[in-house]
Structure 1
Amino acid sequence: MGIFDSLKRNIMGESIEEGYDPIEPIDPEIDEIDRNNAPAREPMSTGAAIELKVVKPERYANVKQIADHLLNHRTVVLNLEATNKETAKRLLDFLSGVAYSIDGQLKRVASNTFVITPANVDVSGDQMRPASATDDSQNKFTTTYGLSSAAEEEPEAAPSSDTIY
């Protein structure tokens, strides 16, 4: 019922029940959903699954395999618990260079554990803070990399005068 019908009834004296508005029939063609005109859903981007490699190198010879994982866009968890300090230092130096070259990141997550990620992976959350700096040159490696070795090594002897670099 429209406004004009309501005014016409009031003027003509027809009775209208208070609070009641008659329902007009709805055109079924308008109410029906046209599925062809509905916006299409875009499929969710599934992308490639991210691979995570956990490695526990004991020798420097394993560095090429670890670098290949990074170059193939795989995240590497590097566990250096069983690695001596000198080998761990060489591994970290090389792998930090690989991470830099692919715009990746190297983050320490535990005293002897690092996460190395390619550019397409972001690491968030609490990461371990660097060890406090000391003046002792023997602790320079531990201070820089935060590593502690299970088997402590004897400090290297000073190079002799006939050592060639």
Structure 2
Amino acid sequence: MAFEKLKNFIAPVEEEEDDGVDEGEELQYRESEAKPVSTYEAQTTKVNKIPTNAQMVLFEPRSFEEAEEIARHLKQRRACVVNLHRLQRDYAQRTIDFLTGVVFALDGTIQKIGHNVILCTPQSVTVDGSITLESDDE
């Protein structure tokens, strides 16, 4: 018995395997309608368009009515420098109050950059740095 195992180990005897198919039988294959499946998950990110024609507009209003034109430019995402020195004090304050509301509604910023000079920027414009308004002599 041990000799038979050794003999089969060295020179195995081929046994006929029954694969379940008779020789005269033809196999019929059916094409599967499997569709490829992607395991890739797309990541969505918000893309902000950077304006290529960024503009800065300078204003020197002579009346409060000109503040509406400044607001139109801010709505078009243009930065505005406004010199208020030609306006009377109360009209200058009304203009600042109006532009503060416009800038707030547009998520922008308003900064004083000089005596009676303000910078209004929409959300798409960032301002870096600061200006010291006091003189070194004082």
- Normalising by structure 2, we get a TM-score of 0.58
Does 1:118 find its partner at 2:135? no
Residue aligned with 2:112, SS: strand
Query: What amino acid does structure 2 have at the position aligned with 1:108?
Result: K
Quote the RMSD (CA, aligned, Å).
1.8
> Any stretches of 5+ residues in structure 2 without a counterpart?
1-48
The whole-number CA distance in structure 2 between the counterparts of 1:83 and 1:125 is 28
Runs of 4+ in 1 over 3 A off after TM superposition: none
CA contact (8 A) 1:108 1:128 kept: no
- Larger Cα-atom Rg: 2
Query: What amino acid does structure 2 have at the position aligned with 1:70?
Result: L
Does 1:87 find its partner at 2:80? no
> Any stretches of 5+ residues in structure 1 without a counterpart?
1-44, 131-165
Query: What amino acid does structure 1 have at the position aligned with 2:96?
Result: L
Aligned residues: 86
The whole-number CA distance in structure 2 between the counterparts of 1:100 and 1:66 is 14
Equivalent pairs: percent with the same residue? 28
Give the 5 Å matches for 1:1-165: 47-128=51-132
- Normalising by structure 1, we get a TM-score of 0.49
Q: Indicate how the Cα distance of structure 1 residues 115 and 59 shifts in structure 2: closer, same or farther if over 3 A, else same.
A: same
The whole-number CA distance in structure 2 between the counterparts of 1:91 and 1:47 is 27
Residue aligned with 1:99, SS: helix
1:23-47 deviations in Å (ceiling 9; x for gaps) = xxxxxxxxxxxxxxxxxxxxxx974
1:117-152 deviations in Å (ceiling 9; x for gaps) = 00011111123459xxxxxxxxxxxxxxxxxxxxxx
The whole-number CA distance in structure 1 between the counterparts of 2:116 and 2:125 is 21
Higher relative CO (Cα under 8 Å, sequence separation at least 6) belongs to 2
The whole-number CA distance in structure 1 between the counterparts of 2:93 and 2:132 is 18
